[in-house]
């Protein structure tokens, strides 16, 4: 494997250029982006290849045991990598427990918490966590996409609920109108419904 070819950089590229290209490739091929997608396996393989090439060129050891990208350093970073793996394995309660064990809440922590909430169907909480992650790191495309998708989903949901309640008369509206009309008729000496 030619690491320069994998990353698409020239052999004379600086460390900063390599890091920039690497970050862009991670945004493009990160397995989380392909969750529940038939291309997920290919994305995972591509990420492993990208991580290996990056490690060879920088000696950074960025590849985690699961082959996924880690923006974090130290024990918190490895815990967040484990959380991503647990989420990918749909072990949400374990992922939440691992997140609870972390004292410092980074943007990635909020994002991953949002993913867990979303997978559990708790969309209002997911929206809050995604929005917080995006506010903390507005340049992160992963967080921006999650926040926008959740915001659009919520808007669609509320619009559908409003349309269901819209201008259509319900059975309750008709009954209420009949009872009101009957009361008015009885006050005038008549009986609209006739059974009372």
Q: Please determine, for residue 35, whether its predicted confidence score (pLDDT) is greater than 80.
A: no
Res 81: pLDDT? 82
Burial class (CB in 10 A: 0-12, 13-18, 19+), 166: exposed
Q: Which helix (H) or strand (E) holds 172?
A: helix 171-187
Res 88: pLDDT? 84
Match 């918490």 to its residue by tokens: 113
Q: Please determine, for residue 113, whether its predicted confidence score (pLDDT) is greater than 90.
A: yes
Q: Which CATH number fits domain 72-165: 1.10.3720.10, 1.25.40.10, 3.30.70.890, 3.90.1150.10?
A: 1.25.40.10
In sign, the C-alpha dihedral spanning 9, 13, 14, 17 is negative
Domain extents in the chain: 1-69, 72-165
What is the model's pTM? Answer: 0.45
57-61, 87-91, 140-144: least confident range? 57-61
List alpha helices for 59-170, DSSP H. 74-88, 92-100, 107-119, 123-136, 141-165
The closest alpha carbon to 130, from 101, 153, 106, 107, belongs to 107
Query: How many alpha carbons fall within 13 Å on the CB side of residue 99?
Result: 25
Task: Give the mean pLDDT of 22-39.
Answer: 83
Q: Please determine, for residue 74, whether its predicted confidence score (pLDDT) is greater than 60.
A: no
Q: Which CATH class is domain 1-69?
A: mainly alpha
Do the domains at 1-69 and 72-165 have one common CATH topology? Answer: no
Q: Above pLDDT 70, what percent of the chain?
A: 69
Res 103: pLDDT? 78
Q: Report the alpha-carbon distance of residue 46 to residue 184 in Å, rounded.
A: 75
Q: Which long-range contacts (CB under 8 A, 24 or more apart) does 114-122 make?
A: 114/146, 114/150, 115/32, 115/87, 115/146, 116/87, 116/92, 118/150, 119/87, 119/90, 119/92, 120/92
Q: Please determine, for residue 186, whether its predicted confidence score (pLDDT) is greater than 70.
A: no
The closest alpha carbon to 19, from 58, 45, 48, belongs to 58
């Amino acid at each position: 494997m030619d690491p320069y070819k994998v990353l698409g950089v020239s052999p004379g590229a600086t460390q900063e250029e390599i890091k920039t290209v690497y970050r862009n490739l991670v945004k493009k091929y990160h397995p989380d982006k392909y969750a529940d997608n038939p291309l997920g396996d290919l994305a995972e393989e591509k990420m492993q290849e990208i991580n290996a090439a990056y490690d060879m060129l920088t000696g950074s050891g960025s590849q985690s045991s699961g082959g996924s990208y880690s923006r974090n350093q130290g024990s918190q970073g490895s815990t967040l990598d484990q959380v991503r793996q647990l989420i990918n394995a749909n072990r949400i309660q374990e992922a939440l427990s691992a997140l609870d064990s972390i004292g410092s809440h980074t943007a990635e922590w909020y994002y991953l918490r949002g993913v867990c909430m979303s997978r559990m169907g708790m969309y209002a909480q997911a929206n809050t966590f995604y929005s917080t992650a995006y506010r903390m790191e507005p340049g992160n495309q992963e967080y921006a996409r999650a926040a926008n998708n959740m915001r659009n989903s919520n808007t669609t949901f509320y619009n559908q609920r409003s349309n269901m309640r819209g201008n259509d008369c319900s059975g309750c509206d008709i009954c209420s109108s009949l009872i009101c009309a009957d009361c008015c008729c009885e006050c005038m000496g008549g009986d609209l419904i006739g059974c009372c």
